[in-house]
Amino acid sequence: MKQNEILEKLKNIENKLNDKAEAPLSFYQACDYLHFKPSYLYKLTSQKKIPFSKPTGKMLFFSVKELDQWIFGTYGKSGN
């Protein structure tokens, strides 16, 4: 395999990983991602202490990027 082919395949893998990171997480996927029990995540969402989206007024969705920012204390700060 040529070096150019390897680099192209690596770029494709990187793009796929980035695309997947942008996909929203469901409630239980967020629990798994954060290693939180569902009751604790419900508590954080009801107190609006964690970023989430509720587009239909029923189901909760989470952004990996926003969760990472929240974890590291940078969510909502200027520049983000």
**20 pLDDT tier (thresholds 50, 70, 90):** low
Residue 36's pLDDT is: 97
The residue range of the domain holding 65 is 23-80
Token pair for residue 25?
Answer: 């997480």
Specify the pTM: 0.67
Residue 7 resides in a domain: no
- In angstroms, the CA 44 to CA 52 distance is 10
Query: How distant is the alpha carbon of residue 38 from its chain centre?
Result: 16
Is residue 47 very low, low, confident or very high in pLDDT (cuts 50, 70, 90)?
very high
- Indicate the number of domains in the chain: 1
62 inside domain: yes
Q: Is residue 31 part of a domain?
A: yes
Q: What is the mean pLDDT of residues 42-65?
A: 94
Please check the confidence at residue 25 and state whether its pLDDT lies above 50. Answer: yes
- pLDDT at position 21: 60
